[in-house]
């Protein structure tokens, strides 16, 4: 991962470590599995924690699941906390991001069930259409490898740039073959992309951060990712070996229930799309 917010992550990591010393039933780093106590799940605040809290309030008790939701605002600590056993599972990421994370950090996180898609979008406070961006305009993009590549693919799919043949899930601005508007790119932490909108001409923002910032992806995005054949669905994940945790199985079933599907559709109005 490039240019992560080291201070924020360090503080959150310290919190996760402290929490791990007191949490019950979240597993541990020794390889043994303790499936008693509550299932503690690390999640981004929006929409992941909101969905989990809906499950906790409306479905978990009847299913015999003791669920605890712990919110994190970065994309690193939820995986490191799952790896070291501070939490029992996480819900915030997609497969390309997880593959990159496991490879670079030596973690062993695996997906359990895909729940929803948050379409990535291009937003602006200065123009109302993507083709209205002026020559030399600056576009903020997430600075982690997978989301930056995803952002560039979004721009390419809408004719703003052309990527070199073979540019994959780690594409960077250096992989741009054609840039007719001579766009300039500012790499910022994904969580900061909405705040950058006053400083740049446009920004590519992850769906969860767009919603948290009061943006409505289905309405406000200049261009928006298509849900068709999209590999970026967000899933419940655990450390390898914990897939058979009965608490995880219960949560996976609840997260893909008709009640959760209706909650997502009613609350997010197309800005978050059920994947089941």
Q: What domains can be seen in the chain, in order of their start residue?
A: 6-119+231-274 (3.40.190.10), 121-224 (3.40.190.10)
State which residues of the chain have pLDDT below 50.
Answer: 1-31
Distances 91 to 51, 266, 267 between C-alpha atoms, Å: 10, 20, 18
Give the residue among 76, 85, 120, 112 at the shortest CA–CA distance from 209.
120
Would residue 27 be called left, alpha or beta, if left means φ above 0 and alpha means ψ between -120 and 50 degrees? left
Question: What confidence tens digit (pLDDT) does each residue in 19-42 have?
Answer: 443 343 444 444 456 788 999 999
Report the predicted TM-score, pTM, of the whole model to 2 decimal places. 0.74
Residue 36: other Cβ atoms inside 10 A: 8
Contact at 8 Å (CB) between 255 and 51?
yes
The DSSP symbol for 132 reads G
CA distance 21 to 6: 23
Query: What's the first-to-final CA gap in the chain, in angstroms?
Result: 30
Question: What confidence tens digit (pLDDT) does each residue in 62-117 have?
Answer: 999 999 999 999 999 999 999 999 999 999 999 999 999 999 999 999 999 999 99
Cis before 112? omega within 30: no
pLDDT at 32: 57
């Amino acid at each position: 991962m490039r240019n992560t917010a080291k201070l924020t992550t360090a503080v959150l990591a310290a919190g996760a470590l402290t929490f791990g010393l007191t949490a019950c039933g979240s597993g541990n780093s020794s390889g043994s599995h303790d499936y008693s106590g509550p299932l503690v799940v690390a999640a981004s605040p929006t929409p992941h924690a909101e969905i989990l809290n809906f499950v906790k309030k409306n479905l978990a008790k009847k299913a015999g699941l003791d669920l605890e939701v712990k919110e994190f605002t970065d994309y690193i600590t939820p995986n490191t906390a799952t790896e070291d056993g501070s939490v029992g599972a996480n819900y915030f990421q997609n497969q390309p991001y997880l593959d990159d994370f496991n490879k670079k950090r030596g973690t062993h996180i695996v997906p359990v069930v895909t729940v929803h898609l948050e379409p990535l979008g291009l937003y602006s406070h200065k123009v109302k259409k993507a083709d209205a961006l002026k020559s030399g305009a600056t576009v903020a993009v997430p600075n982690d490898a997978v989301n930056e590549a995803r952002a560039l693919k979004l721009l390419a799919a809408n004719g703003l740039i052309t990527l070199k043949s073979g540019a994959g899930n780690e594409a960077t601005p250096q992989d741009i073959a054609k840039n007719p508007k001579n766009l300039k790119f500012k790499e910022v932490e994904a969580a900061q992309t909405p705040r950058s909108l006053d400083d740049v001409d446009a920004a590519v923002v992850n769906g969860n951060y767009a919603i948290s910032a009061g943006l409505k992806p289905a309405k406000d995005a200049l261009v928006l990712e298509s849900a068709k054949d999209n590999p970026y669905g967000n899933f419940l994940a655990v450390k390898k070996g914990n897939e058979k945790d009965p608490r995880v199985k219960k949560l996976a079933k609840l997260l893909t229930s008709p009640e959760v599907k209706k909650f997502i559709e009613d609350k997010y109005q197309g800005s978050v799309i059920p994947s089941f």
